[in-house]
Each structure stands twice: as structure tokens, then as C-alpha cells.
Amino acid sequence: MSVFNEINLKNLHGDMLGGVTAAVIALPMALAFGVASGAGAEVGLYGAILVGLFAALFGGSPTLISEPTGPMTVVFTAVITSLIAADPENGMAMAFTVVVLAGMFQILFGVLRLGKYVTLMPYSVVSGFMSGIGFILIILQFGPMLGQAAPPGGVIGVLENVPQIIEGSRLPEVLLGLLTISILFFVPASLKRYMPPQLLALIVGTVLSVLLLSTDEVRRIGEIPSGLPEFQMPFFSLEQWRSMLVDAIVLGMLGSIDALLTSVIADSLTRTQHNSDKELIGQGVGNMMSGLFGGLPGAGATMGTVVNIQTGGRSALSGLVRAGILFIIVMWASGLTAAIPLAVLAGIALKVGIDIIDWNFLKRAHRISLKGALITYGVILLTVFVDLIAAVGIGLFLANVMTITRLSKLQEDDVEVINQSGDGNKSLNSYENDLLDTADGKVMMLLLRGTMIFGVSRAISRKNSEIQGCASLIIDISQVTHLGLSSALAIEESIKDMLQAGKNIFIVHSTGQPIERLGYLGILASIPEKNLVTNRTKAMELALYGNIDQSEDKLDNE
């Protein structure tokens, strides 16, 4: 496997055009996210350059465009807020250290080849979490849209100060914010092909504010530092190490999920296949470098990726071109951003929040699954009003419990106890039913099929009460594809009860994991070897007649 991403010159024109277009889109988004995070507009640009550059170099999806995204910005904003509150002097340095740690975790995920598992999260939880982040982003822009600095305290702080924010609103900035949103929503599709709505809103809003409004009437970005960003020495606090570690894991997981889901979208558009583990390594290197040089964390960006592909990008060269253009802007044209109104950037960020919300699922979630809808709505509320980590943790727990319960109920039908012949015994052939008639209730059969997860162990335990009156028990696991530990222990309990009562145990098996697991548990040691067979009819004959001449047996089901 090559260390570098797929970079070639076969599609030079398309990659150049894709990179330029992606850079045009990235500029207003990076500035908006930088301001929204509270770390500064330049921090958004640094993140867009560094994450995009190194993810393009070392990633596993050639057309993926990586940069600061709405979800990553919201999480990072919460990290900044909590760490500065705990340590005002070193809080920002610790926040960038969290970004470095998040990148290290992503690299670890890739090295351990966890790429295929990262996105295995219930959709109800992912939808609720992403929608909650969208609502947070919208709420946090309420103050800047009305010409006010965002009050401290995050979402709760904004909601508590709504009357004061409205009372202190500044009409020029309100109008600029509304103009921005109007352009983003209503720009004709024909114009979008030539100019991204975000850039159009940025240019129109800035030009009008310069021509029609004085400097005192509108809050602006101000001139951002030009030149290379300064190295940020990682800073660790013994008092905050635990929260820093947890924040880094959450940031790394979110960035991994965001990037891999976007990679899947890129695959569907280009009919290619990305390398998940390699992409995680590339994302990790990008975030590490961004954190070390004071940039926002980032991930695969759906909008930039789709535009890159649609305008001709087919290799990682487009991502490198995009990073190069943004680098030129930071080095020699950063002064051009000084006049951009903060209200315009707030409008752009607010539109991103609206787009993040999973409206398509939310409006019909209750019709698809009421329980799934409740999980989604609950995760949204926890994300917005409580804590991002708690939202995901509680959501995953409830969703997994519900899934396991549902699967267990379905698989209980695969646990069957038979001791009498009849037309309902579809699992047995006619000869085996005749043998049951002969046994007259003295032989009990426990038939298991499919995957026996731990939830099925309850069904096996309940069946134990039905086998007490028999003389012999036949446990048929020949059709079990996977035997979970809990189910294996439930079978062990049945075997122990029968052996303690001096009764016979026969196990019908095939080669594979189920019989191996029973062997590892030491269950088979107490059962005579002749009672371990690979044919159910043979087991029934042994249970009825004892030792028989196998050469004279004509087993109907062989």
C-alpha cells in the first residue's frame, strides 16, 4: 500500500478546476467557522489549509476535500469554552492540544484497521447527533446575526439572554445577515454553476457594507495575520487531562465518521472505492498538523467534495491545488478579508446549521419507527441542552438495547424444544418423528439454529424447565452459525442439570465455532465421546437403543 494518496497528472485540467472551485467555497466557510468557534477567522483558514493539505497527501479517498466542518467546529467550540473556563491562561493552548490528540487517535484507528467499524452507528443516533449540532450552530449565530457578541455559556447562555440580544440588536447588521441568508437560499441554480452562493453572499455583503455603511455601524473581521502560522507547543494540564482525553476521543470519532461517510458519497459519484483505514491516517495527520499550528480541526466536507468531483477533480491533486490557493491568500492577500462583516459570516454559518439538520428523516421518523424517533429526538435534546458525549453515549446504549431486544425476540423462534411427534415438527423428517413416538416422551430435543447472541440465552434458560422429565436430552447445534458466550453458558447449565440427575446428554454438531466454543468452556469433557455425533437421527437412535451397529443403520436424512 502506497504511503501517499492517489496523485497523477492524467486529469490535470479537471483536478486544477476542481481544486480552484473547492478553494473558492472553502474561503467563506473557513472564515465563518473560525469566527463561530471564538478562536478567530485566521484559525479557520489555517485549519482549511493544513487539514486539507495533509489529508489529500496521505488519505485514502482521492477526491475527498477535507476542511473545518460544522460538526467539528461545534465540538471544538465546546472544548474551547470548557478549557478556558477551567484555565483562562492556558485554555486555548490546551484546546489545540486536544486537536493534536484527536489526530493521534484517528491515526491509531487507521493503524488498527478500524475504518470499517467507525461508521457502524445506528442511524437514529447519528441523525439526532448531527441535527443537534445543527441546532447548536443556529442558536450560536443568533447574537452575531443581530449585531451582538455571543454571550458566554453556549446555547444556554444565548437562550437566557434572548431579550437582551433582541433589545440591543443593530439594524445594519440584521439587514446584512438577512441579505446573506436570502442569497444562500434563493440564488438561482443557473448562477450557482458559475459562483458558489457562499462566496457571492460574502462579496455582496462586504461590498454593500463598505459602500453604504460606516466602520462604526458594522462589526468586521479586521485584518488577520499574514504569513505562516506559529507553532503551538502542546500544553497538558494534570487537572484537565481526563476531560482533554475524552474530548480528543469524541473529536477524533466525529471526524472519522464525518470523513468516511463523505468518502462513501465520493465513491458513489466517481464509482471508485476508497481505503477507509488509510483515509483515517490521512485525516489524523491533517488534524495533528492543524492543532500544532493553531488551526481548526476538520474532516471530509460534503459540499467541497461534491463540487470538486462535479467540476472535474479525480485525484488528490485537486485537494493540493485547493490548499495551495488558500495558502497564497493567507500569505499575501489576507488583508482583503479585513472588511468582511461578522453578520455575513454568521449568516453563512447559520445556513450550514440549517443544512446539517436531517430534516428529511425528522419529518417522517415517527412514521418509520416510534421508538427510533424517540431516540433521535432524545439525542437532539441531549446534544443541544446537556452534553455531546452524554447524547451519543445514551443514544447508543438505548438503540443497542432496543436492537438486541428485537433480535432476541426474533431469534427465540430458533430455539425449539421437541419431545413428541407431530405435523408441527417441520425440523424433523418422518423417521425422526417415528423415533419420537417410540420414545414416548423420554427423549427431549433442544434444537438451535442461526446466530445465538446473548439475548437468546434467556430463551434457552426458559426451555430448561421443559426438559426436566425426560431421560435423555439431545442438543442439536449443527445449524448454529455462531454461538455467543451467554448462550453457551445457558447450554452448559442445561447439560449440568441433566448430568446431575443421572440422565444422558447427546450433542449433534458440525465443525466450526459452536462446538469449538463448547470445547473451550470444558463442557464436552463430561460427555462420553460416543454421544458427540454429527447426525441428529443417529443421536436419537443412540438415545433410544444405546450402542447400535452403525453399519446396519440406514439414516434417512444422510
pLDDT at residue 59, as a whole number: 93
Q: Where in the chain is the domain with CATH 3.30.750.24?
A: 412-552
DSSP run (H or E) holding 416: strand 415-418
pLDDT at residue 551, as a whole number: 33
Q: DSSP secondary-structure letter at 553? A: -
CA dist 96 and 76 (Å) reads: 9
Low-confidence ranges of the chain (pLDDT < 70): 1, 421-426, 455, 463-469, 547-558
pLDDT at residue 334, as a whole number: 77
Assessment of whether the complete model's pTM goes beyond 0.85: no
CA dist 390 and 396 (Å) reads: 10
Contact residues for 390 (Cβ-Cβ < 8 A; gap 6+): 382
User: What is the CATH code of the structural domain delimited by 412-552?
Assistant: 3.30.750.24
What cell numbers appear for 76 in the block? 471544538
CA dist 321 and 302 (Å) reads: 18
Contact residues for 534 (Cβ-Cβ < 8 A; gap 6+): 478, 508, 509, 510
CA dist 510 and 491 (Å) reads: 16
Q: DSSP secondary-structure letter at 119? A: T
pLDDT at residue 278, as a whole number: 95
Whole-angstrom CA distances from 364 to 129, 368, 380, 475, 498 are 17, 6, 16, 46, 52
pLDDT at residue 2, as a whole number: 75
